[in-house]
């Protein structure tokens, strides 16, 4: 593989998506039919959540190599993201005819059935995927969502499996405190996560958690006023995205967690 393509993948892993896109665009400018470069560009665009453009890159790969189930799988994933479920299902079904044991295709088809509110089918597909590759946090997450649809609250286990493996669920402790696992009676630093809607939705659990722990809630800046009014007995700071926490004091933080973790215990 071209060294520039390898470098672009490395930059993508680091989250340096603009630089990765610039580098791979230079490769394509010189070799516009280089499939490895086109595929890499699609992966960069997928990470940047530019799903329509990513789908175009993978579609071009499918033209150049019609039997590339990797290109088809990522094309289908991109199409799902823009709600083109019928097209995605057709392509994933084709992938599984070519390679019945493709874990990513099984998992993506499972995700599609989560989106279509077919939880039983989603669980079946993702469990097959996990048997082939147990190290797929995404498949565990999809099973989690499907179980929650069925009223099975063990589904929160799958959601928790995403911590550290998903760009949406990253946790960094304030100091050396351990991650909270339902302990009671301590000072608990709760950090908001994902988008505004997620923070507002999960905030409904704060009152229950407050009964068992001394809570500090670190949310997005725009929501600080709302949460302070809503939870006057909880310390609320809008410094979630600020590496400097001016409110820090000598008091010990016993545990920390992302706000979604509260749902696993309450």
- E-state strands within 37-155: none
Q: What is the pLDDT of residue 212?
A: 94
The domain ranges of the chain are: 3-160, 187-265
Please give the CATH superfamily to which domain 3-160 belongs.
Tetratricopeptide repeat domain (1.25.40.10)
Count of helix runs (H) and strand runs (E) in the chain:
14, 4
Query: Is there a contact between 90 and 84 (Cβ–Cβ < 8 Å)?
Result: no
Distance CA 186, CA 215 (A): 9
DSSP reduced 3-state for 235? strand
Locate 223 and state its tokens: 């929501």
> 166: left (phi > 0), else alpha (psi -120 to 50), else beta?
beta
Phi-psi region of 215 (alpha: psi -120 to 50; beta: other; left: phi over 0): beta
Q: Model confidence over 121-154: pLDDT tens digits?
A: 999 999 999 999 998 888 999 999 999 999 999 9
Looking at the chain, the whole-number percentage of residues with pLDDT higher than 90 is 74
Q: And the tokens for 233?
A: 């007995």
- Give pLDDT, residue 84: 94
pLDDT digits (tens, 9 = 90+) for 230-254: 999 999 999 998 888 888 877 789 9
CA nearest 257: which of 183, 157, 166, 152?
A: 183
Please state the length of the chain.
266
User: Cα 222 to the chain's mean position, in Å?
Assistant: 22
| Biggest CA pair distance of the chain | 62
Strands (E), 60-168: none
pLDDT in tens, 70-109: 999 999 999 999 999 999 999 999 999 988 999 999 999 9
């Amino acid at each position: 593989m071209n060294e520039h393509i390898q470098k672009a993948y490395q930059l993508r892993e680091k989250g340096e998506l603009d630089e990765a896109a610039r580098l791979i665009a230079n490769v394509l400018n010189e070799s516009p039919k280089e499939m490895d470069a086109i595929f890499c560009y699609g992966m960069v665009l997928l990470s940047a959540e530019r799903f329509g453009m990513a789908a175009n890159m993978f579609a071009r790969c499918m033209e150049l190599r019609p039997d590339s189930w990797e290109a088809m799988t990522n094309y289908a994933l991109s199409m799902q993201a823009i709600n083109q479920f019928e097209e995605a299902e057709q392509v994933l079904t084709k992938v599984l005819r070519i390679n019945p044991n493709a874990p990513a295709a099984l998992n993506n088809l499972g995700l599609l059935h989560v989106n279509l509110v077919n939880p039983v089918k989603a669980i079946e597909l993702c469990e097959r995927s996990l048997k082939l590759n147990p190290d797929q946090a995404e498949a565990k997450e999809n099973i989690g969502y499907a179980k929650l649809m069925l009223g099975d609250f063990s589904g929160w286990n799958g959601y928790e499996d995403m911590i550290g493996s998903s760009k949406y669920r990253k946790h960094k402790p304030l100091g050396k405190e351990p991650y909270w696992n339902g302990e009671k009676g301590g000072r608990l630093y709760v950090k908001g996560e994902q988008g505004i809607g997620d923070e507002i939705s999960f905030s409904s659990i704060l009152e229950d958690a407050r009964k068992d722990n001394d809570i500090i809630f670190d949310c997005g800046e725009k929501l600080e006023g709302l949460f302070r009014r809503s939870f006057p007995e909880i310390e609320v700071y809008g410094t979630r995205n600020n590496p400097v926490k001016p409110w820090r004091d000598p008091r010990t933080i016993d545990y920390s967690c992302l706000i979604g973790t509260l749902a696993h215990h309450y």
